[in-house]
Each structure stands twice: as C-alpha cells, then as structure tokens.
Amino acid sequence: MASNLNTTLSKTYIGIELWVIIVIGLGLIFVVMLAISLWLTFRKKSKRANDRLPVSQVLSVLEEIKEIRIDQVSSNDGGLNTLSDKFSERDPEKVLINVETGNDSGQSGSFNNIDKGGEGSQLMEEGATGAVTSYRPSLHPLTAPSPLSGLPEFSHLGWGHWFTLRDLQLATNRFSKDNIIGDGGYGIVYRGNLINGNPVAVKKLLNNPGQADKDFRVEVEAIGHVRHKNLVRLLGYCIEGTQRMLVYEYVNNGNLEQWLRGDMGHHGYITWEARMKILLGTAKAMAYLHEAIEPKVVHRDIKSSNILIDDNFDAKISDFGLAKLLGAGTSHITTRVMGTFGYVAPEYANSGLLNEKSDVYSYGVVLLEAITGRYPVDYGRPQNEVNMVEWLKMMVQLRRSEEVVDPNLEAKPSTSTLKRALLTALRCVDPDSNKRPKMSQVVRMLESEEYPIPREDRRRRRNQEGNSEGESHRENSEPDKSDNPDLRLESRRNTQA
C-alpha cells in the first residue's frame, strides 16, 4: 500500500510531481487564511477608531456651518480695541448682595431649576470671594487657563472641541435626571464634569427631524467663533447619529431673573450696584454682537433668565438658539416672530421686521425689570399695571419715579442715578425703533454722570440750537425797512423792476 501511495505521489502533472502540488496548495491556503485574519483584525481596530472620532461625519456637518469672519482686532480680547475706550469700566467697590440672614458671601451653591440654559461663562475675572468685590476690565481676557486643557488634542476640530457621545455620557452620568439644570423647547441642559475635572453645561437638543440640525447650526454660527467676557463661551459640540449637543462652560451663580425674584435661597436680593454692573456688562456684550463683528448677531431672546451671572457678578448672555445673522448693508430681515412675550419689540411683533434695534428694546425691558423688580407682564396686578413698560411711562409722567424702585432693595439708588437708569431704559423702549440708541450709546449713557443723551444726539441738538440762534441773530440785526425811507424806496424800485 505504501508503494501504491508513493507511486501516486510520484505521478507528474504539468511537469510537477503530485506531492509538490499538494505542498504548494497547502501553503497558499495558509497564506490566504493569514491574510483574512489580519484584515479582520485591522477592520476591528478601524471601527473602534471611527466610533471614537467620526471625522468624515463631523467635517460634513462643519461644511454646513458658515464661518463667521471676525475682525482681527476684535478677536484679540473679546471686544474691539476701538470700543475699549467707550467701554472702560469704573471700579467702585460695592456690596453686591442684600442678605436677609446676615451672610455676605458672594459665592453661590448649585445652580438648579433654571428656565433657560444653565450654560456657562466665558472667563472668570480674579476677584474677592466674599460679597465685597471690585471689578476692573481685563486687558487679556483670553489668557486664563482653558477648560479644555488636558483633553486629547486629536479631538480639536475646526473652531472648537469635538466630544464623543461617550465623553458626554461619562460627564453627565449618562444624562442623569439628577444632573438636569434647565429645560425648554430647545432641549435639556445637564451639568457635567469633563475627564480633566472642569465643570460644563451640556445642551442636548431635542431629537426633532431637521430641527435639531437647524438649532445646532444657528447656535454655532452665532457664537462658535466670538469671544467676549460677557458672553457665555461655547466650548465644543457632539455629532453622532441623530444626537446634536453643545457644550458650554458652566456658571453656578444663577441668572438675573432668579436673583431679582429672590430665588437664590439664603443669598437674598441683589443690590442696586450689582444690578447695574450686570446690566452694563450685558450692554457691552450686545454692543460687541451688534457693532464689532461681521456679520452682526441679533440675539432675538434677550431677557433676564438668559443673563447668567458668575461668582464675580459679571453678566454672561446665553441661549443663542433664536439668533439671526445680519450681513453688511442689511438694514433688517423679515422672519417669523420668535422670542418671549413681554420682551419682543412692537415693530417686530407686528411686521416680522427684525434688526439689532429689536434687541435694544428687549434690553430696555430687562433694565426696567431690574429697576422695578417686576415681571414685564403681570396679570396679577391692577389693570393699569399689567404692562410694566406702560405703567412705568405713566409713573414718570406723573413725576412719581421714586415709587417704581424695587421695594426689596434695602439701599435705594440716589435720585440722579435712578433718573439716569430710567431715562436710558425709556429711550431703549421707544416705540419708534429709529429713535432707540445703539448699544454702544447705551453703555456710555449708563457710565456717564450726565443727563443720558448720546453724544450724537447732543451734537445734533447743539447744531440745531446754534442754527436757531444764528437765524434769530440775523433777524434782530437786519434794519427795519419801514423805518428807513431810502430802503423803502429801493424796495419799491426792485418790486417795479
């Protein structure tokens, strides 16, 4: 039998013995199996990498996001150097909180039950940790350590940081209900902690087909590239499947509405000085959005609950989900009326015509809200007091301005300070949008110790007064023709001619 096997293996095919063909075949099978094994291993590793960083998907969405072109000057310190002189801050040391319990601490605890966006702050200026704080403009507001420091470098794509869904699940304890700090029509906001220990606010957009992408692009276009100390800073985003999430720095000191209503627990009510500091910072951020970048950003939802407050009582404008961009040469756009009842400008509500003056009106309502402590619309009050703006105009006409001040204020403002704030607010809520000031003018009015009239208006008024005086002078200096026979004669000859 062995001889038969040897005979069979010794047979030749195509000049090659059978045993040689069998060895070659086995070798080929081994090589093919080894190649398949290596390919499967490589594919598995590639899949893990793609799950970790779907670059192609991110880049495809990023292509849909328009890049905001910011002047080189404005990107240096979050505000234009050309506006820095206009926006110079004073530095009086003021007590920031009226505390009913006698505790003057300026720090707050957790940030809970927020109406709109518990999203974070851009920068925290150095200041006192107690209630007494001095504030000064930062010359280099972007030199503070970034909350993103320590995170993997490869996940920096485009303007910000790309987070994986797993990153944000770990940060928010799988989006635990205990971590919810705000919710609304846009989605839910969670508090989280990154792997480097820094707290963040994660806005998880509602998974509505098409709407999540729209809200995502709007917010990224509006504030993805801009930097200002009084704007909430957008740190990054997450794009995985149908998930769209935005990641902000975290602010843990509530919002203006909570402080005005006394909802910050034992901290009591916010003082007049702190209110004006917050409103001044808000005005500076709005001036930056309207006048310092191209295209300009119209927020469309300026209200007290969207003004977050950090531990130094600096304002942080948040929630840009309704924002619109206006390019150069565009005086206004027509859009569906959006916003919050009581804060919407009348011309926008009636016609849908939107520009930056609509934001100015909303700011004026917030300023009046801070002065009076009232809601913009309150149906629990008498009929003539339901609408705060109309009621306040009536009180000013009746010369009862002192009666409009928030009764919860322990230290009332001086008459001149109150008058300056009221007149500034009333100019902002003027029914004629063309008569409303620019936000840079509002900043100067709030900082000025004089009657709050913008410089341009004062110059125009002086010119008008100068012209009227000149005409009066010419009339008085002309000789009376009726008293001069020669002039009467010359006049008669000219008439006959």
How confident is the prediction along the chain (497 residues), in pLDDT tens digits per residue? Answer: 667 777 776 777 777 777 778 888 888 898 889 888 888 887 766 555 445 444 444 444 444 444 333 333 333 344 333 333 433 444 434 445 554 443 433 333 333 333 333 333 333 333 333 333 333 333 334 445 566 655 555 444 455 678 899 999 999 999 999 999 888 667 899 999 998 888 999 999 877 666 667 767 777 777 777 889 999 988 888 888 888 898 998 988 899 999 999 888 677 789 999 999 999 999 999 999 999 988 899 999 999 999 999 999 999 999 887 888 887 777 778 888 888 999 999 999 998 889 999 999 999 999 999 999 999 999 999 999 999 999 999 999 999 999 999 999 989 999 999 999 999 999 999 999 999 999 999 999 999 876 555 555 556 656 666 665 555 555 454 444 444 444 444 444 444 44
Among the listed residues 167, 183, 301, 319, the single catalytic one is 301
Residues annotated in a binding site for ATP: 204
pTM for the full predicted model: 0.63
Could you tell me the two tokens for 208?
């509505």
CB 183 within 8 A of CB 189: yes
CB 199 within 8 A of CB 250: yes
CB 124 within 8 A of CB 229: no
CB atoms within 10 A of CB 247: 28
Residue 122: partners with Cβ closer than 8 Å, 6 or more residues away: 78, 141, 227, 228, 229, 230, 231, 232, 233, 249, 316
Residue 250: partners with Cβ closer than 8 Å, 6 or more residues away: 111, 118, 119, 120, 121, 191, 199, 200, 201
CA–CA separation, 392 vs 368, rounded Å? 8
Q: Catalytic residue at 430?
A: no
Q: How far is CA 59 from CA 48, 159, 372, 373, in A?
A: 19, 12, 48, 47
Whether residue 137 is preceded by a cis peptide bond, meaning omega within 30 degrees of 0, is no
Instruction: Pick left, alpha or beta for residue 312 (phi over 0 → left; psi -120 to 50 → alpha; otherwise beta).
Output: alpha
Place of tokens 């026979």: 485
Burial of residue 341 (CB within 10 Å: 0-12, 13-18, 19+) is exposed
